């Protein structure tokens, strides 16, 4: 891998992945970050690495559905590997407007796969970043393995499931060298505040209501974003071609508990809110998400046993680190919450009470 295309590198996980690869792995090649810059894309998040690694980090504002432009980027930089993060990623938005999800997640993935297939002789690896949501919802027990049948329930997870199938098919049919990872919920720095953890921590800091969908007893598995970046890089380096790996934090928690932990940590870190004994008083139960998956849990024994990957962080310590990052970076928060973000808050929460 000399010229690695990272799609969606201005987003949350792609950005953290680029930072990790450039600063910690000894990777000596070049990273070409291809991002359309949707509402979720922030090139400023990588300004420091761009300065620190001149020439080794390049940004191209390109839509992955644009076959001509993708072809140009492959040729111009001699792309020999892809780490594919770009996606429409927010489940609630896929319920309000599914079209972009079908475009980017399905057509975009297809466009990239075609560009790689056209260069089969020199192409080394297509890594597809996917989600545990493709497996659907679990009952009280059990965990998703790599063999769990797909049963996506939202337009988002259905579009990701379709993209997973395309990646698998390009390996089986065309022998494209691929790897894939299906990961649980991430959290950490640069997380767009439409997602539960950054939304709740910023609202709690500011004394705004904390919207909990339904009864708040839906269970998610949480993984610190750097641990996910390490897992992806591990799979890219050591994973079997054509193989898929589940990635998770072995950290299942009901949403309500996550929200309470954020309230308690903030009370401790910045002091209580005026007029309140605890930020938990801000918790507001609102109308549930349609088709809301009840429980996710990940069996990640394959990546642990075969590739020796382990999450390094615990939820309590890295949640504290995450909160501290948001407290230390008010300018980033202000920037991403301007403009489109305000419209989204009105659309999603306006009629939820």
Residues lying near ligand NAD in the complex (CB under 6 A): 7-8, 10-14, 35-38, 40-41, 63-65, 85-89, 104, 108, 129, 131, 160, 183, 185-186, 192
Q: Which residue is nearest to ligand NAD (CB)?
A: 11
| Smallest distance, ligand DAU to C-beta of residue 348, A | 8
Residue closer to ligand DAU by CB (options 193, 239) is 193
Rounded to whole angstroms, the Cα distance separating 65 from 111 reads 6
Strand partners, 252: 221
- Residue 43: both structure tokens together: 């090139």
Which sequence positions are flagged as catalytic?
132-133, 156
Q: How far is CA 239 from CA 120, 277, 299, 309, in A?
A: 19, 50, 17, 11
Is residue 89 a contact point for ligand DAU (CB under 6 A)?
yes
| Smallest distance, ligand NAD to C-beta of residue 346, A | 20
Is residue 195 a contact point for ligand DAU (CB under 6 A)?
yes
- Residue 279: both structure tokens together: 């930020």
Q: How many residues bind ligand DAU (CB under 6 A)?
A: 19
Residue closer to ligand NAD by CB (options 159, 273) is 159
Name which of ligand DAU, ligand NAD, none residue 249 binds, using a CB cut-off of 5 to 8 Å depending on partner kind. none
| Smallest distance, ligand DAU to C-beta of residue 119, A | 29
Contact assessment for residue 238 and residue 310, using Cβ atoms and an 8 Å cutoff:
no
Name which of ligand DAU, ligand NAD, none residue 313 binds, using a CB cut-off of 5 to 8 Å depending on partner kind. none
Name which of ligand NAD, ligand DAU, none residue 296 binds, using a CB cut-off of 5 to 8 Å depending on partner kind. ligand DAU
Residue closer to ligand DAU by CB (options 165, 289) is 289
Q: Which stretch binds ligand DAU (CB under 6 A): 40-48, 168-176, 194-202, 272-280?
A: 194-202
Closest by alpha carbon to 88, among 20, 153, 17, 12? 12
Site residues (CB under 6 A) for ligand DAU, limited to 196-255: 196, 199, 211-213, 218, 220, 255
Name which of ligand DAU, ligand NAD, none residue 212 binds, using a CB cut-off of 5 to 8 Å depending on partner kind. ligand DAU
Residue with tokens 């098919």: 169
The residues binding ligand DAU (CB under 6 A) are 89-91, 131-133, 184-185, 195-196, 199, 211-213, 218, 220, 255, 289, 296
């Amino acid at each position: 891998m000399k010229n690695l295309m990272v799609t969606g590198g201005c987003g949350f996980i792609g950005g953290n992945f680029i930072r990790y690869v450039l600063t910690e792995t000894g990777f000596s090649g070049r990273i070409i970050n291809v991002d359309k810059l949707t509402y979720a894309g922030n090139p400023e998040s990588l300004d420091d690495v761009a300065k620190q690694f001149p020439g080794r980090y390049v940004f191209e504002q390109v839509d992955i559905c644009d076959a001509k432009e993708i072809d140009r980027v492959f040729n111009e930089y001699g792309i020999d590997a892809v780490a594919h993060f770009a996606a429409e990623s927010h489940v609630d938005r896929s319920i309000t407007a599914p079209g972009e999800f079908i475009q980017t997640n399905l057509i975009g993935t297809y466009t990239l796969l075609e560009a790689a297939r056209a260069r089969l002789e020199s192409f080394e690896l297509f890594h597809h970043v996917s989600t545990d949501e493709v497996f659907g919802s679990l009952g009280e027990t059990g965990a998703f393995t790599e063999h769990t049948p797909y049963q996506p329930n939202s337009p988002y997870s259905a579009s990701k499931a379709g993209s997973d199938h395309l990646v698998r098919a390009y390996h089986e049919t065309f022998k494209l060298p691929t790897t894939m990872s299906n990961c649980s919920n991430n959290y950490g720095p640069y997380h767009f505040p439409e997602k539960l953890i950054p939304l709740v921590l910023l609202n709690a800091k500011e004394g705004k209501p904390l919207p909990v969908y339904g009864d708040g007893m839906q269970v998610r598995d949480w993984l610190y974003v750097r641990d996910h970046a390490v897992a992806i890089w591990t799979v890219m380096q050591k994973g079997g071609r054509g193989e898929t790996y589940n990635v998770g934090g072995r950290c299942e928690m009901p949403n309500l508990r996550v929200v309470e932990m954020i309230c308690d940590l903030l009370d401790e870190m910045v002091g209580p809110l005026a007029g309140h004994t605890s930020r938990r008083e801000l918790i507001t139960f609102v109308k549930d998400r349609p088709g809301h998956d009840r429980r996710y849990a990940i069996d990640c024994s394959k990546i642990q046993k075969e590739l020796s990957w382990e999450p390094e962080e615990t939820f309590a310590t890295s949640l504290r680190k995450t909160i501290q990052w948001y407290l230390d970076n008010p300018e980033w928060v202000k920037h991403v919450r301007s403009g489109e973000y305000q419209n989204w808050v009105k659309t999603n929460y306006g009629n939820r009470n």
